[in-house]
């Protein structure tokens, strides 16, 4: 009878969150006024099953569990699966780490703080159309044969670019990509072959690289090359026709040294130049849309600072101490002689890391053709069908119902929020921590282990009195007849 009452009073606007004792709104509230894209929070198993396309194999099952909402109140963590839609169609976006802000009861969850954190993981990656702009260092140093190698640095680059896997990455099946190659030394970067050539298939790409890719001579105007590629090459009308709003321009910068514009340049002289470039890139990136370029950098050689982390460099706070990476501020980049300058020993991975970080890409430092090939393969842009957004905050904030707000900060505007209603008396099993310290989905088997061990203890206590009573009587000899003296003598 009670169940009839309960069922009659249950609402259909909330659903239980699997493996927890909490409930969640079936439909998250999408802020239509502030959204260009609809940010849909997936709250029901049916939605997650649909987006992973069935639960037939273990991988799909894992994706399904990643998609379902999860709340670990002990760890103060919440996980939600979200997707983006435009006109009721799926809209794929690239890696959204650092592009999503989360609010809890209208207060922003600070990313990377001691008590709070946010993590975004993309799922179901898809390849999109890309225009690759390769900016290859053509300075005199690319003619150097490193110790133990019979090939010049430019030979290694050529070998890497001609690797079958790299060609597959630039021209994958089913997607129409284009490649434009420029080399740079001093002055304006030059298109490979002397005039702008847009390479659209493997054959022309292969022959063009084989025929024209050669080192020249001169200084290394690295920063100018990036600026030129970003603002001049991509703005050319031939290139603009390729960028149809669904194509991602991707700049790949390759160098074997430092930005070097004069004979007396030191790493200190590069500080204002790099600062200027980074500011310019930031301006470009602030207006992120589908056709906003990505910048990847590839270094060939030994890194100046192996443990450099670009995230630690605050905006506008670039110093010579940072850029010189522990070397003397006055050390010349290109000193007379063969081993006197910084670029004779190192490559400026610090500049490369910072440029890639601002350009939302990645930096690679490799020493051989194989490593370079791997780096080139990585630059193929990937977009994701849906995302797993996790955040943690003070666990005490989850001791009543709460509202989670999600906002996409870049690419397009998208705002949504959902209410979560935890149980006031009990919680489900907590998850284990993954390698990065985030809680994973708990299972009922943990509670079964508590049940069995608890039952074991209680059953033991139930018979403990009888065991002690009989044990004591056994020790006192009251359970068995003592042998008499006569029988002992006998």
Partner 1 sequence: MNIFLIPYTWSRHLQFGIWSALCSLIAWWFYLLVLTQGGMVWSSGWDAFVTNALLCSAVVFANIWGEGALRRWSMRRRLWKLALGVGISMGITLLVTWSWAGLSLMFLEDIGSVHHVVALKYRWGNFMGTGVGVAIGVMSTEKWRGQPKTFVLNYLLGGLFAGLTAGALWSISAYYWVQNLYWAGAILFVSFGFSFGWSTRSTPDDLYVGWIRVLSGNRFGHRIPIDAKEKLPKERFVGAYPNGLDLFFPVESFVQPLHASVVHNPTKNTYTLRGLTQYHLKMVRMLEWAKLNYDPQSPVPMEVNLSNEDRVELGEGVQVEFLILPREER
Q: What are phi and psi of 251, to 5 degrees?
A: -90, 130
- In contact, 177 and 132? CB cutoff 8 Å: yes
**Binding track, positions 463-482, relative to partner 1; x by CB under 8 A:** xxxx-xxx--x----x--xx
How far, in Å, CA of 232 to CA of 255, rounded?
20
Stretch that binds partner 1, among 4-12, 48-56, 60-68, 131-139 (CB under 8 A): 4-12
Stretch that binds partner 1, among 32-40, 126-134, 378-386, 393-401 (CB under 8 A): 393-401
86-90 LR contacts (CB < 8 Å, sep 24+): 86/36, 86/37, 86/38, 90/385
Taking CB under 8 A as the criterion, the residue among 86, 113, 126, 459 binding partner 1 is 459
C-beta pairs of 16-19 under 8 Å, 24+ apart in sequence: 17/43, 17/68, 17/69, 17/70, 17/71, 17/420, 18/45, 18/68, 19/70, 19/428, 19/429, 19/441, 19/442, 19/443, 19/444
Q: How many helices (H) and strands (E) does the chain have?
A: 15, 19
For the CB of residue 436, give the shortest distance to partner 1 in the complex, in Å.
21
* Residues facing residue 102 across a β-bridge: 406
Tokens matching residue 245: 């709003």
> What is the nearest approach in angstroms of partner 1 to the Cβ of residue 464?
7
* CB 15 to partner 1: min, Å: 9
Q: Which stretch binds partner 1 (CB under 8 A): 209-217, 242-250, 368-376, 399-407?
A: 399-407
DSSP state of 271: H
Q: Based on CB atoms, which residue is closest to partner 1, 235 or 461?
A: 461
Q: Which of 21, 197, 275, 305 binds partner 1 (CB under 8 A)?
A: 21
Contact string (CB under 8 A) for partner 1, positions 410-449, x = contact? -----------xxxxxxxxxx-------------x--xx-
Least separation in angstroms between residue 444's CB and partner 1 is: 6
Binding to partner 1 by residue 105, rule CB under 8 A?
Answer: no
- By CB under 8 A, the count of residues binding partner 1 is 51
Contact 366, 299 (CB under 8 A): yes
Q: Return residues touching partner 1 (CB under 8 A).
A: 2, 6-7, 9-11, 14, 16, 18-21, 23, 73-74, 395, 399-401, 421-430, 444, 447-448, 450-451, 454-455, 458-459, 461-466, 468-470, 473, 478, 481-482
């Amino acid at each position: 009878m009670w169940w009839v009452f309960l069922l009659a009073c249950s609402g259909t606007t909330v659903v239980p969150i699997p493996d927890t004792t909490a409930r969640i709104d079936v439909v998250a509230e999408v802020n239509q006024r502030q959204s260009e894209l609809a940010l849909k929070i997936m709250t029901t198993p049916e939605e997650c099953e649909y987006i992973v396309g069935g639960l037939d194999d273990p991988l799909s099952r894992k994706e399904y569990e990643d998609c379902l909402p999860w709340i670990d109140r002990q760890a103060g963590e919440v996980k939600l699966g979200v997707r983006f839609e435009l006109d009721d169609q799926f809209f794929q976006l690239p890696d959204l780490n650092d592009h999503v802000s989360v609010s809890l009861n209208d207060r922003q969850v600070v990313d990377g703080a001691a008590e709070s954190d946010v993590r975004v993981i993309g799922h179901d990656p898809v390849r999109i159309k890309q225009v690759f702009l390769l900016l290859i260092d053509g300075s005199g140093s690319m003619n150097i044969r490193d110790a133990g190698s019979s090939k010049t640095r430019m030979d290694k680059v050529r070998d890497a670019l001609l690797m079958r896997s790299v060609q597959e990455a630039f021209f994958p099946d089913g997607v129409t990509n284009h490649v434009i190659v420029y080399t740079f030394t001093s002055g304006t970067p030059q298109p490979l072959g002397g005039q702008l050539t847009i390479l659209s298939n493997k054959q022309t790409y292969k022959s063009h690289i084989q025929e024209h890719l050669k080192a020249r001579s001169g200084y290394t105007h690295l920063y100018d090359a990036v600026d030129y590629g970003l603002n001049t090459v991509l703005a050319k009308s031939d290139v603009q026709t390729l960028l149809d709003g669904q194509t991602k321009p991707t700049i790949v910068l390759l160098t074997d040294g430092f930005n070097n514009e004069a004979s007396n340049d030191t790493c200190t002289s590069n500080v204002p130049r790099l600062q200027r470039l980074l500011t310019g890139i930031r301006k470009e990136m602030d207006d992120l849309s589908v056709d906003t370029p990505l910048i990847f950098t590839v270094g060939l050689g030994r890194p100046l600072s192996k443990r450099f982390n670009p995230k630690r460099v605050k905006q506008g706070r670039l110093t010579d101490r940072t850029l010189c990476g522990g070397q003397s501020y006055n050390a010349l980049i290109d000193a007379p002689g063969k081993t006197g300058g910084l670029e004779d020993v190192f490559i400026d991975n610090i500049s490369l890391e910072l440029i890639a970080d601002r350009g939302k890409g990645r930096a690679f430092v490799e020493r051989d053709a194989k490593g370079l090939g791997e780096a080139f393969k990585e630059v193929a842009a990937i977009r994701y069908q849906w995302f797993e957004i996790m955040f943690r905050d003070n666990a005490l904030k989850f001791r009543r119902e709460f509202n989670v707000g999600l906002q996409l900060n870049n690419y397009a505007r998208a705002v949504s929020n959902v209410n979560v209603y935890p149980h006031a008396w009990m919680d489900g099993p907590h998850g284990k921590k993954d390698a990065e310290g985030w809680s994973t989905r708990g299972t009922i088997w943990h509670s079964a282990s508590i049940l069995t061990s608890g039952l074991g203890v209680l059953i033991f206590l139930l018979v403990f009195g009888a065991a002690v009573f009989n044990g004591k009587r056994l020790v006192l000899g009251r359970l068995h007849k003592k042998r008499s003296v006569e029988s002992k003598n006998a």
